[in-house]
Structure 1
Amino acid sequence: MTETLDKPAAASRIRKARPAKSAPDAPSGRVRTPGKAVLIVGGIPRADLLPVEVLVHRRQRATVRRAWLGVVVVAAVVALGVAVSAMDSASSATQLRSAQDEGTALLQQQGQYSEVRKVESRTALAEAAQTVGGAPEIDWSTYLTKAQGSLPEGVSIVGVTVDSASPLESYDQPTTPLQGARVATLTFEADSPTLPSIPDWLDRVRGLPGFVDANANSVTLDSNTGHYTVDMTVHINQQAFDGKYSEKTK
């Protein structure tokens, strides 16, 4: 009785122990379970028996190799930069020497014309001295012609006295108030057949170049000729300078 009951139970256990068939689409040797990772059945067993320290040491060695590679690359770049700088420096030094050689050659060529340069220097000095010396010069011939033209018809200048500035000394300025600055004084004697109108004469000489002021010093009658002699003084400022040497230097 007991044996009859135990056999079916064993058979039932055996049927339950049979493996389930895999899905038709699953590859051979693998069992795919929905929602779970692929389980490899019958693969070659593998095990890593190395200590953890060995793996860490390997990773550290790889890091060190990469660091040394970076150092080598940086050193190569620095060496290349130094080489380029050295080449530029050498090129600049060569150009400098070439420029110095050209400068020396030019100086040697200039030495051949040293006498010409001395003459030019002396000429420039003479022109400068001429300009300074001739700066306060007035063309008195032209000025007296204009002064004669400003007088009434029939009146002639018979005597002239000129006092003007010099390149070495400044002209004495008036101390009387309301008198303008001057650089020269023209005093002339004019012969008039008739009694002169002094205000008219003073108005006429106002048109002279550099006119500052004028005054009639005296009027005398010559009993022998019946003519009048007028002594007149005209003060002149720097606008009367002819400036011919200054124009020449320009």
Structure 2
Amino acid sequence: MTESLTKPPIGARLGRSKRARNATETRVERPGKPGKAAFVVGGTPRADLLPAEVLVHRRQRATVRRAWLGVIVVAAVVALGVGVSTMDSISSASQLRAAQDEGTSLLQQQGQYAEVRKVESRTALAEAGQAVGGAPEIDWSTYLGKVQASLPTGVTIVGVTVDSASPLERYEQPTTPLQGERVATLTFEADSPTLPSIPDWLDRVHGLTGFVDANANSVTLTSETGHYTVDMTVHINEQAFDGKYAEKAK
């Protein structure tokens, strides 16, 4: 008995061999070497039958979506900034209106006391004038008491002449050399039961406030009483001013 074996065509064998290889082999990327594929035996066969235009369209749509997402994010940031700026502007305008209202209220309140302010202004002007007018004033009552206290025991002041500076005119100064400036001249007569020691008297008045110089003009004996009358002149500078009006002005 003879058997006849019929061999399949070569093309059929090649086709089956290729299909078998496709069914059992899959191309994978080799790690560390991009762009080169490796065959894996026993992998799941895969095939991408979509046209290239579809893939390009998908990539374009993804790019458009990302672009629109960026636009939306930028628009949101801009809107947030505009909102914050608007709120700040509204708050500033509100604060400005409140300050203006407060200023108007204060002006109205000041208007209620306009007369008081006028009186205060006139009072301040009067005090300033008083300070200027009373600047060259000397408390003569107190000063004469100090002069009397500086004289020897038993000596009494019996006559006084005062020539002092004026607020409107400068006091006349001496023309004799080596004499100090003065603002007042005090001339007094003193009654002494004994012959006075003129140098001692001059030493005593030297300690008076504002003392510049002093001299005894004359010494006269009164025959009826047996007492001596001393005529003495004392020059005084600005240290003798009492300054009481200046203190009130402060």
Same fold (TM over 0.5): yes
Contact 2:191 2:227 in 1 (8 A): yes
CA distance in 1 between counterparts of 2:200 and 2:218 reads 15
Residue identity matched to 2:40: L
| SS of equivalent residue, structure 1 residue 144 | helix
Is it true that 1:43 corresponds to 2:45 in the alignment? Answer: yes
Q: After superposition, what is the alpha-carbon deviation per residue over 1:140-197, rounded to whole angstroms, capped at 9, x for unaligned?
A: 0111111011111121112211111122222233343333232211111212222211
Unaligned runs of 5+ in 1: 1-18, 20-27
Q: After superposition, what is the alpha-carbon deviation per residue over 1:19-48, rounded to whole angstroms, capped at 9, x for unaligned?
A: 9xxxxxxxx9469xxx99442557234467
Show the 5 A alignment for 1:167-186. Answer: 167-186=167-186
| SS of equivalent residue, structure 2 residue 159 | strand
Contact 2:187 2:234 in 1 (8 A): yes
Is it true that 1:140 corresponds to 2:140 in the alignment? Answer: yes
Greater CA deviation, 41-50 or 82-91? Answer: 41-50
Residue identity matched to 1:93: A
Contact 2:194 2:227 in 1 (8 A): yes
Aligned to 2:187: 187
Greater CA deviation, 200-209 or 36-45? Answer: 36-45
CA distance in 2 between counterparts of 1:37 and 1:186 reads 132
Contact 2:185 2:235 in 1 (8 A): yes
Unaligned runs of 5+ in 2: 1-16, 18-22, 32-36
CA distance in 1 between counterparts of 2:101 and 2:189 reads 73
Cα deviation, residue 137, structure 1? 1.0
Residue identity matched to 1:222: T
CA distance in 2 between counterparts of 1:106 and 1:183 reads 50
Cα deviation, residue 68, structure 1? 4.5
Q: After superposition, what is the alpha-carbon deviation per residue over 1:79-129, rounded to whole angstroms, capped at 9, x for unaligned?
A: 222222222212221222222222222322322222222222212221222
Aligned to 2:6: none
CA distance in 1 between counterparts of 2:121 and 2:202 reads 49
Show the 5 A alignment for 1:1-250. Answer: 29=24, 37-40=38-41, 43-46=45-48, 50=52, 55=56, 62-63=62-63, 65-250=65-250
Contact 2:127 2:248 in 1 (8 A): no
CA distance in 1 between counterparts of 2:68 and 2:135 reads 85
Q: 1:70–1:172: structure 2 CA closer, same or farther, 3 Å change rule?
A: farther
CA distance in 2 between counterparts of 1:44 and 1:62 reads 24
Identity rate, percent: 78
CA distance in 1 between counterparts of 2:199 and 2:128 reads 44
Greater CA deviation, 138-147 or 68-77? Answer: 68-77
Aligned to 1:14: none
CA distance in 2 between counterparts of 1:111 and 1:131 reads 30
Contact 2:147 2:208 in 1 (8 A): yes
| SS of equivalent residue, structure 1 residue 172 | coil
TM-score scaled to structure 2, two decimals?
Answer: 0.74
TM-score scaled to structure 1, two decimals?
Answer: 0.74
CA distance in 2 between counterparts of 1:148 and 1:86 reads 85
